[in-house]
Amino acid sequence: MDSAHLATWHLAHKTRPAKIVLPKDVEEVVAAVRDPKNHPSPLIAVGAMHSVTRCVEADAGTVVCMAGFNRVIGMAGATDSPCQVVRVEAGVTLAVLHAWLLALQRELSFSPEIGDATVGGLVTTMCKDSSVRGPGHLCALVEALTYVDHEGNVVGLSRQEDEVALEHYMCSYCTQGITLDAMLRCRPACLVRTRVRALPTGDGARLAERILRMRAQCDNMWAVITLHGCCLEQRWQLPGRALHRQSPRLLLEVFRRVRYQTFLVPHTPAYILLGARLPLPGLVHHRSLLVNSYPAVTAEQSRLDFSYYEYPDIGRFAEVVEGVLQFARDHKDATGFAPAGFALYFVRRGGARARMHAGAYSGGEGWSFVLDPTCGQPTDPRWLEFCRAFTPWALAHGARTSPTQTKELLPGQYALDSRYVRARFLTPYFAQFVTELKQGAETPAFDTLPKT
Ligand SMILES: Cc1cc2nc3c(=O)[nH]c(=O)nc-3n(C[C@H](O)[C@H](O)[C@H](O)COP(=O)(O)OP(=O)(O)OC[C@H]3O[C@@H](n4cnc5c(N)ncnc54)[C@H](O)[C@@H]3O)c2cc1C
């Protein structure tokens, strides 16, 4: 297909490539990569286009839509093994994969609320989930993958045989190749208990202290913090499936929908109220039952936008929560605008990436926290101005950013290692971050969360 506009789900970013390709098989991906005359550079792949930054821009280049790569290929490994893997094509969405696995009583530890994102759009970028007993970012679960490189070769990498090359590929932010499929570590499905609590936001230092205390009582926690109120979800993994019964489907569905509204129209009061109303002892469910799929939206509708900041040093939690709230209040006093709230994740770092080098989820096995400001109007200039003003503050407080999830990033605010990058796949957006990183630029190990 020649020249058409493509837009991200939330309609904030558009691109007009010279060529759009919808490959049905590997040969068609290879043919496109090997033919720069008819498929001009930069050539990029896209999944569901649910990114929130300019990462999907390839103006005058080529966009390869991976929607046709939508098969879950199957399981490998003994069924009684805790380390089974599922092989899945890059265009499969998380919602489809979760449902497929649950039918076999399996699951991924990574189960964020978004169901539309594809495996290909997540394994070489970064992501976050307040996972329960397992890594909270998808690349930590990758045992092997296949991709098409800049010369059109189909390359296979596995953790067992090429760990360093695999990790470099997964840190490349899609500038090294087109991912075709991945093998992801999964585990027996388990039930979790989710308990929702509402707190007044009040003083930042006191709020941070209460959050950490509540975090220590459970396996993990996710929260939404607004300038006025805070809603926290405590999550426990329940041992022995047979001992627990899942909450009624209707109740789970009502909860999912109220929660979904809070993502579509960030942080509706209904969600915070729900926290005050849900009865003890909470809901019992598989995590994937609370995953959402987002239908198409119009530019007039409110729809979630966010800007990502990972803090790998959990010791700075109180300082950051207090500072972020103060920053938002000061910004509101000065401009009249404040974000709808902040989404808080505790992400368990895992896999070789945690040990390897500077970048997202490095710094050793342990816990990072992610605190993302959110807004319901992705194109509101006041929101974008907030993001531009906030990023330097966050970086000064130890945050790391991501070119696929942090809004309005400038050169110098993210470093993409020049060793990963191939010109065929490099767009002007990503090119502004390419940096020659010095050998030995590894990040120090960070403390982990105390566990009860
Ligand atoms: C409402 C909403 C809620 C969200 N909630 C969360 C959340 O809780 N946790 C979280 O982590 N994220 C969340 N996100 C962000 C989203 O999960 C990520 O941006 C994700 O990368 C989107 O996946 P995608 O398939 O749409 O990728 P796309 O937007 O299509 O692409 C993302 C990047 O990956 C590249 N790419 C895509 N496919 C391939 C491939 N096969 N090979 C090589 N490169 C490829 C693209 O070129 C692009 O650079 C949310 C987003 C929205 C809109």
Q: How many CB atoms lie within 10 A of CB 283?
A: 22
Alpha-carbon gap, residue 343 to 341, rounded angstroms: 7
3-state secondary structure 171-188: CCCCCCCEEEEEEEEEEE
pTM: 0.94
Helix axes 317-335, 381-396, angle to 10 degrees: 150
> Which residue CA neighbors atom 27 of ligand 1 most closely?
121
Q: Domains plus CATH for the chain?
A: 72-188 (3.30.465.10)
Model pLDDT, residue 437: 74
Closest CA to 25 of 79, 87, 86, 70: 70
Phi, psi at 312, each rounded to 5°? -80, -10
Centroid of ligand 1 to alpha carbon of 200 (angstroms): 32
> Which residue CA neighbors atom 15 of ligand 1 most closely?
51
Closest CA to 417 of 442, 392, 395, 398: 442
Model pLDDT, residue 450: 41
Atom of ligand 1 nearest to the CA of 66: 41
Give the DSSP letter string of 159-174. Answer: TTT-HHHHHHHHTSTT
> Which residue CA neighbors atom 5 of ligand 1 most closely?
114
User: Tell me, what amino acid is at 300?
Assistant: E
Q: What is the pLDDT along the chain (452 residues), one digit of tens a residue?
A: 656 789 999 999 999 999 999 999 999 999 999 999 999 999 999 999 999 999 999 999 999 999 999 999 999 876 666 679 999 999 999 999 999 999 999 999 999 999 999 999 999 998 999 999 999 999 999 999 999 999 999 999 999 999 989 988 998 999 999 999 999 999 999 999 999 888 889 999 999 999 999 999 999 999 999 998 888 999 999 986 656 788 998 988 888 888 787 776 766 666 666 665 655 568 999 999 999 998 899 999 889 999 999 999 999 999 999 999 999 999 999 999 999 999 999 999 987 777 665 677 787 888 999 999 999 999 999 999 999 999 999 999 999 999 999 999 999 999 998 988 999 999 999 999 999 876 555 555 555 444 33
Place of tokens 């070119």: 403
Alpha-carbon gap, residue 427 to 406, rounded angstroms: 17
Cα–Cα separations (whole angstroms), residue 215 to 204, 218, 367: 16, 6, 12
> Which residue CA neighbors atom 33 of ligand 1 most closely?
121
Model pLDDT, residue 449: 45
Model pLDDT, residue 256: 85
CB 147 within 8 A of CB 178: yes
Model pLDDT, residue 310: 95
Centroid of ligand 1 to alpha carbon of 409 (angstroms): 17
Residue of 43, 404, 424 best suited for mutating to test ligand 1, as the one with most atoms within 8 Å of CB: 404
Model pLDDT, residue 451: 39
Atom of ligand 1 nearest to the CA of 147: 42
Atom of ligand 1 nearest to the CA of 430: 49
Centroid of ligand 1 to alpha carbon of 363 (angstroms): 23
The ligand 1 site (C-beta within 6 Å) comprises 9-10, 44-52, 55-56, 66, 90, 112-114, 117-118, 120-122, 124-125, 127-129, 174, 178-179, 263, 294, 304, 404-405
And the tokens for 120?
């290909």
Closest CA to 371 of 419, 306, 433: 306
Centroid of ligand 1 to alpha carbon of 46 (angstroms): 9
Measured distance between the N- and C-terminal CA atoms of the chain, rounded to whole angstroms: 56
> Which residue CA neighbors atom 29 of ligand 1 most closely?
49
Model pLDDT, residue 448: 47
Residue of 111, 118, 416, 430 best suited for mutating to test ligand 1, as the one with most atoms within 8 Å of CB: 118
And the tokens for 164?
């360093």
Alpha-carbon gap, residue 148 to 152, rounded angstroms: 6
Alpha-carbon gap, residue 5 to 281, rounded angstroms: 49
Closest CA to 224 of 340, 323, 337: 340
Alpha-carbon gap, residue 238 to 88, rounded angstroms: 28
